[in-house]
Amino acid sequence: MIVIGIDPGTTTIWYAVVEKKWNEKILLDYWVIHTTPKIDLKDKIMEISNDLESLINKYMPKRVVIEKLFFTTNLKTGIDVAQVRGVILYKFASIGVEILEYTPLELKSAICGNGKANKLQLQNAIKIFFSLNQIPKPDDAADAIWLAYMWILKKI
Protein backbone atom coordinates (compact mmCIF):
# COMPACT_ATOMS: atom_id res chain seq x y z
CA MET A 1 0.00 0.00 0.00
CA ILE A 2 1.30 3.45 -0.93
CA VAL A 3 0.51 6.53 1.14
CA ILE A 4 1.33 10.15 0.33
CA GLY A 5 1.76 12.74 3.07
CA ILE A 6 1.38 16.41 2.14
CA ASP A 7 2.40 19.58 3.95
CA PRO A 8 0.66 22.28 1.87
CA GLY A 9 1.68 25.83 1.04
CA THR A 10 1.36 28.22 -1.87
CA THR A 11 4.97 28.39 -3.04
CA THR A 12 6.14 25.01 -1.78
CA ILE A 13 4.13 21.86 -1.13
CA TRP A 14 6.17 19.16 0.56
CA TYR A 15 5.19 15.57 -0.08
CA ALA A 16 6.41 12.17 1.02
CA VAL A 17 5.64 8.75 -0.39
CA VAL A 18 5.74 5.78 1.96
CA GLU A 19 5.02 2.17 1.09
CA LYS A 20 3.98 -0.56 3.47
CA LYS A 21 4.90 -4.11 2.48
CA TRP A 22 3.93 -6.59 5.16
CA ASN A 23 5.64 -5.20 8.28
CA GLU A 24 8.19 -3.17 6.36
CA LYS A 25 7.81 0.58 5.88
CA ILE A 26 9.77 2.08 3.00
CA LEU A 27 10.33 5.77 2.36
CA LEU A 28 10.11 5.83 -1.45
CA ASP A 29 10.43 9.53 -2.04
CA TYR A 30 10.12 12.96 -0.52
CA TRP A 31 10.49 16.26 -2.22
CA VAL A 32 8.76 19.53 -2.92
CA ILE A 33 6.37 20.85 -5.50
CA HIS A 34 7.56 24.37 -6.31
CA THR A 35 5.37 26.99 -7.89
CA THR A 36 6.62 29.94 -9.84
CA PRO A 37 7.23 32.86 -7.46
CA LYS A 38 5.23 36.06 -7.78
CA ILE A 39 2.51 34.78 -10.09
CA ASP A 40 -1.23 34.87 -9.49
CA LEU A 41 -2.68 32.29 -7.15
CA LYS A 42 -4.85 30.86 -9.95
CA ASP A 43 -1.68 30.11 -11.93
CA LYS A 44 0.00 28.53 -8.91
CA ILE A 45 -3.07 26.35 -8.42
CA MET A 46 -2.82 25.15 -12.02
CA GLU A 47 0.87 24.31 -11.55
CA ILE A 48 0.08 22.43 -8.33
CA SER A 49 -2.77 20.54 -9.99
CA ASN A 50 -0.53 19.44 -12.86
CA ASP A 51 2.29 18.38 -10.52
CA LEU A 52 -0.15 16.42 -8.34
CA GLU A 53 -1.44 14.66 -11.44
CA SER A 54 2.11 13.50 -12.22
CA LEU A 55 2.65 12.39 -8.63
CA ILE A 56 -0.60 10.42 -8.62
CA ASN A 57 0.20 8.76 -11.95
CA LYS A 58 3.69 7.81 -10.78
CA TYR A 59 2.75 6.27 -7.41
CA MET A 60 -0.98 5.41 -7.62
CA PRO A 61 -1.53 5.97 -3.87
CA LYS A 62 -4.31 4.33 -1.88
CA ARG A 63 -4.29 6.98 0.84
CA VAL A 64 -3.25 10.57 1.38
CA VAL A 65 -2.76 12.51 4.57
CA ILE A 66 -2.72 16.29 4.43
CA GLU A 67 -1.84 18.68 7.19
CA LYS A 68 -4.78 20.76 8.38
CA LEU A 69 -4.48 24.48 8.06
CA PHE A 70 -3.27 26.28 11.15
CA PHE A 71 -2.46 29.95 11.18
CA THR A 72 -2.70 32.77 13.66
CA THR A 73 -1.23 35.88 12.13
CA ASN A 74 -1.51 36.27 8.37
CA LEU A 75 -5.11 35.85 7.24
CA LYS A 76 -4.32 36.38 3.54
CA THR A 77 -1.70 33.64 3.54
CA GLY A 78 -4.10 31.35 5.40
CA ILE A 79 -6.82 31.92 2.83
CA ASP A 80 -4.41 31.25 -0.06
CA VAL A 81 -3.17 28.03 1.55
CA ALA A 82 -6.79 26.98 2.17
CA GLN A 83 -7.47 27.36 -1.55
CA VAL A 84 -4.41 25.24 -2.38
CA ARG A 85 -5.58 22.61 0.11
CA GLY A 86 -8.92 22.56 -1.69
CA VAL A 87 -7.21 21.70 -4.98
CA ILE A 88 -5.13 19.00 -3.29
CA LEU A 89 -8.20 17.47 -1.63
CA TYR A 90 -10.14 17.60 -4.89
CA LYS A 91 -7.38 15.89 -6.91
CA PHE A 92 -7.22 12.93 -4.55
CA ALA A 93 -10.95 12.72 -3.78
CA SER A 94 -11.83 12.75 -7.48
CA ILE A 95 -9.97 9.46 -7.98
CA GLY A 96 -11.28 7.82 -4.82
CA VAL A 97 -8.17 8.02 -2.67
CA GLU A 98 -8.85 7.87 1.08
CA ILE A 99 -8.02 11.18 2.76
CA LEU A 100 -7.17 12.05 6.35
CA GLU A 101 -6.30 15.45 7.75
CA TYR A 102 -4.38 16.28 10.92
CA THR A 103 -3.19 19.42 12.65
CA PRO A 104 0.49 19.93 13.50
CA LEU A 105 -0.44 19.50 17.19
CA GLU A 106 -2.09 16.12 16.53
CA LEU A 107 0.91 14.98 14.50
CA LYS A 108 3.47 15.95 17.15
CA SER A 109 1.37 14.41 19.94
CA ALA A 110 1.13 11.10 18.07
CA ILE A 111 4.86 10.95 17.35
CA CYS A 112 6.44 12.39 20.47
CA GLY A 113 3.60 12.26 22.98
CA ASN A 114 3.85 16.04 23.16
CA GLY A 115 2.14 18.52 20.86
CA LYS A 116 4.97 20.98 21.47
CA ALA A 117 7.73 18.76 20.13
CA ASN A 118 10.17 20.64 17.95
CA LYS A 119 11.01 19.99 14.32
CA LEU A 120 14.44 18.54 15.14
CA GLN A 121 12.83 15.85 17.32
CA LEU A 122 10.59 14.88 14.40
CA GLN A 123 13.52 14.84 11.97
CA ASN A 124 15.65 12.67 14.26
CA ALA A 125 12.80 10.19 14.76
CA ILE A 126 12.44 9.82 10.98
CA LYS A 127 16.17 9.26 10.62
CA ILE A 128 15.91 6.39 13.10
CA PHE A 129 12.68 4.83 11.80
CA PHE A 130 13.81 4.78 8.18
CA SER A 131 17.52 4.13 8.87
CA LEU A 132 18.56 7.27 6.99
CA ASN A 133 22.12 8.57 6.98
CA GLN A 134 20.96 12.06 7.88
CA ILE A 135 17.84 13.85 8.99
CA PRO A 136 15.44 14.86 6.22
CA LYS A 137 15.72 18.54 5.37
CA PRO A 138 14.06 20.93 5.47
CA ASP A 139 11.74 20.38 8.40
CA ASP A 140 8.59 20.64 6.23
CA ALA A 141 9.75 17.48 4.48
CA ALA A 142 9.80 15.76 7.86
CA ASP A 143 6.18 16.77 8.44
CA ALA A 144 5.12 15.24 5.13
CA ILE A 145 7.03 12.02 5.88
CA TRP A 146 5.42 11.72 9.29
CA LEU A 147 1.96 12.31 7.92
CA ALA A 148 2.37 9.41 5.49
CA TYR A 149 4.07 7.15 8.01
CA MET A 150 1.58 7.70 10.82
CA TRP A 151 -1.34 6.81 8.57
CA ILE A 152 0.27 3.45 7.93
CA LEU A 153 0.72 2.88 11.63
CA LYS A 154 -2.78 4.19 12.32
CA LYS A 155 -1.57 5.97 15.41
CA ILE A 156 -3.53 9.12 14.74
Q: Is the dihedral of CA 34, 36, 38, 40 positive or negative?
A: negative
Contact 18, 28 (CB under 8 A): yes
Task: Respond yes or no: is residue 67 known to be catalytic.
Answer: yes
Asked about 19 being catalytic, the answer comes back as no
Instruction: Answer yes or no: are the C-beta atoms of 26 and 132 closer than 8 Å.
Output: no
User: Among 43, 47, 53, 67, which one carries the catalytic annotation?
Assistant: 67
The answer to whether residue 80 is catalytic is no
Burial (CB < 10 A; 0-12, 13-18, 19+), residue 11, is middle
Instruction: Assign 137 to helix, strand or coil.
Output: coil
State the catalytic residues.
7, 67, 140
